[in-house]
Amino acid sequence: MSGSPATARAVIFDCDGVLFDSWHANVAYYNAVRAALGLPPMDADWERRAHFLATSSVFQEMFGDDRPLLARARQIAQTIDYEPFYELMVPVPGLHEVLAQLRPSWRLGMATNRGSTVQEVVRRFGLDAWLDAAVGVLDVARPKPYPDVIEECLARLAVAPAAAVYIGDAESDAAAARAAGVRFIGVGEHVSHVSAVPDLRALPAILARDGR
């Protein structure tokens, strides 16, 4: 890895929707909580919202009008074994190849609204070979769209905001990047107001072209 802390550059990734297609894993997890509560599966609108919100925010918005139900949902969530859901997480095409291309010139990090599963995702999918830092929502006070996870990741990477790029797939990612003072690049089709790349494999060429 090149660069002293004063000159180092960083690429920081969101997890779900960027490094992984985890739609089915997220939907299955929240539906498992709902099933344990005796509730039907989420509808299509909630499937979409649940994919982009932090778990705490999902439960607050889903059950916030019923405090006893909210407390039960949180308790159930703490006892559910996430093991079956890792198998539903699909690494995006070329994931390790992209990280290998970036690693010689950039410090790499992950900043996500995931909670207790962050380190297991890193270990299970071999990301520890490439990432210099992995920060989840349990490491900070507030989830995205607040900048906390990105700022904590920058601190662990010893990289200044102006020398960093955040890669996300949601409006909340763009907002968090703006608040943290880092450049944002959107991946996929859900970020409409910034330039986005449809495929993570295009990222090394974009960063090289832009001289960042």
Q: What is the pLDDT of residues 46-71, one digit of tens each?
A: 998 888 788 888 999 999 899 999 99
Fold of 10-21+89-210: Rossmann fold (3.40.50)
Q: Which two tokens stand for residue 200?
A: 């993570």
State the pLDDT confidence band at 193, using cuts at 50, 70 and 90: low
Domain ranges of the chain: 10-21+89-210, 23-86
Which residues are paired to 196 by β-bridges? 186
Q: How many residues are present in the chain?
A: 212
Q: Give the per-residue SS3 of 42-66.
A: CCHHHHHHHHHCCHHHHHHHHHCCC
Q: At residue 180, does pLDDT exceed 60?
A: yes
CA distance 117 to 94: 22
Instruction: State the average pLDDT over residues 127-147.
Output: 96
Is the pTM for the entire model greater than 0.75? yes
186 close to 202: Cβ distance less than 8 angstroms? no
Show Cβ contacts of residue 200 under 8 Å, excluding neighbours closer than 6 positions. 18, 19, 92, 93, 94, 95, 98, 167, 187
Q: At residue 5, does pLDDT exceed 50?
A: no
Q: Nearest Cα to 190, choosing from 76, 23, 2, 64?
A: 23
Portion of the chain with pLDDT greater than 90, in percent: 76
Q: Quick one: DSSP state of residue 16? A: B
